[in-house]
Structures are given as structure tokens and as C-alpha cells.
């Protein structure tokens, strides 16, 4: 049976697009995200910016250390994790969904552009889900890569996966080693708030077989 050339070209094009879309960002460019918690107002705050982290820690927040890693610029396959702040609710809110961010901005939140964070929108390249929970009592969004923490945070309800982030290397305070910041030390607060970051899982590479498949397909197209 002869397979139509146009079909093979179409298949090849699909795969070229998919391979490009699935390409991994350079993990050495990822930077750790530090987590802060303010018990008084009930706010979890996440930043990659050490100046902000230190300022928050001098202003009522407790440092909870690096938790996961994101990209500081829009690299392959990533999307902007938009940061918003609502002073009335004392809530930091992070979303990749622009319509949700715009609704937030129309409803008391301010979009903050300082130190942007970029995350994978699908689970690629060894990334792990970043779970988002909400506490109506605290009026607080909580983000974690730990399912144990997600399920153990009293008063919070899991909402959705906010994006896919890189886990921190086990025993390291930084994903890339290029940001020299302490881990924040001991943290008061609930048991779940001081749980250690999760260990690295699901880091198997997945590009090589697809790349080989693509090369074979291009070869077949060329031969035909």
C-alpha cells in the first residue's frame, strides 16, 4: 500500500510543531521560589526576588524557604504566572489564566509585574503540578507541589493545578545553584506549613524517542 505523500508531510508537520511546542527550557535557568506566610493576615506569598523576600520577612511574614523553581523569563513552553495582590483581603494570588487575572483586577486585586515567573502550562520536562488551594476564612490562596501539604492544610480547599514547575533538587536550597539564599530555617505555623519540600520525581526525559521518530518520518518523506 502506498501512503500518500501529502499525508506523510502533514503528519511530519504536525510532529515538527509538536516537538517544538514540547521543547524543554534549560533547567539551569530556573530559579527558586521562596514562600512566606503571614499568620496575622493569613497570606501566603511567593517570590523569586530576594529583596522582596527579605523585606516581607522584616514586615510580619515568616520565611518558609525555597519550595520549587520557575523561570524568570518566557523560555520554551512556558507561560506567565501572573501575580496579583489584594490589600483588603491580604491575599497574593497567582494565575496563568489571563481572563481570571482580569476578573481579579476588576474585583479588588492589582496585577503586580515585579519579578515575573514563568511556568510550564503542561507537565513537561520533569515538571510537577503546582496545586492551588483557597481558604475563604483567611481569604488566602495557597500553592504547593506537595499533595500531602495540599490535603493537610486545614481550612483550604483544592481548586486547580496552577501550572507545572520544577522540583528543587533534593537536599539543595536552589534548583540551579545560582541563587545563594538560605532555606529560611525553622518556621512557626501549622504542621503543614513547615513540611519539607517534596523530593524530585518524574524527571524522565521524553524527547529522544519522539526526535528519533521525527527523523525517521522525514527520511521516509524524502525517500518517497
Ligand X SMILES: *[C@@H]1O[C@H](CO)[C@@H](O)[C@H](O)[C@H]1NC(C)=O
Binding site for ligand X (CB under 6 A): 49, 51-52, 97, 99-100, 103, 114-115
Q: Which is nearer to ligand X, 99 or 222 (CB)?
A: 99
CB of 103 to ligand X, least distance (A): 6
d(CA 84, CA 91): 8
Q: Which is nearer to ligand X, 99 or 186 (CB)?
A: 99
CB of 48 to ligand X, least distance (A): 8
Q: Which is nearer to ligand X, 97 or 200 (CB)?
A: 97
CB of 9 to ligand X, least distance (A): 32
CB of 116 to ligand X, least distance (A): 8
CB of 122 to ligand X, least distance (A): 12
Q: Which is nearer to ligand X, 22 or 100 (CB)?
A: 100
Q: Which is nearer to ligand X, 124 or 162 (CB)?
A: 162
Pairing of strands 78-86, 110-120: antiparallel
d(CA 53, CA 65): 10
Amino acid at each position: 500500500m502506498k501512503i500518500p505523500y501529502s499525508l506523510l508531510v502533514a503528519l511530519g508537520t504536525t510532529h515538527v510543531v509538536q516537538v517544538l511546542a514540547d521543547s524543554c527550557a534549560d533547567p539551569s535557568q530556573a530559579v527558586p521560589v521562596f514562600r512566606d506566610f503571614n499568620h496575622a493576615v493569613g497570606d501566603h506569598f511567593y517570590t523569586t526576588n530576594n529583596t522582596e523576600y527579605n523585606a516581607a520577612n522584616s514586615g510580619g511574614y515568616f520565611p518558609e524557604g525555597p519550595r520549587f523553581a520557575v523561570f524568570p523569563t518566557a523560555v520554551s513552553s512556558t507561560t506567565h504566572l501572573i501575580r496579583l495582590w489584594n490589600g483588603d483581603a491580604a491575599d497574593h494570588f497567582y494565575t496563568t489564566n489571563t481572563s481570571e487575572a482580569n476578573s481579579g483586577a476588576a474585583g479588588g486585586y492589582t496585577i503586580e509585574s515585579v519579578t515575573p515567573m514563568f511556568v510550564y502550562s503542561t507537565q513537561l520536562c520533569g515538571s510537577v503540578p503546582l496545586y492551588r488551594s483557597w481558604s475563604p476564612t483567611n481569604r488566602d490562596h495557597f500553592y504547593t507541589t506537595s499533595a500531602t501539604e495540599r490535603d493537610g492544610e486545614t481550612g483550604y480547599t483544592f481548586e486547580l493545578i496552577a501550572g507545572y514547575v520544577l522540583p528543587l533538587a533534593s537536599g539543595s536550597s536552589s534548583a540551579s545553584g545560582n541563587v545563594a539564599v538560605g532555606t529560611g530555617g525553622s518556621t512557626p505555623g501549622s504542621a503543614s506549613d513547615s513540611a519539607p519540600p517534596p523530593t524530585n520525581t518524574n524527571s524522565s526525559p521524553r524527547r529522544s524517542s519522539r526526535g528519533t521518530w521525527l527523523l525517521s518520518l522525514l527520511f521516509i518523506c524524502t525517500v518517497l
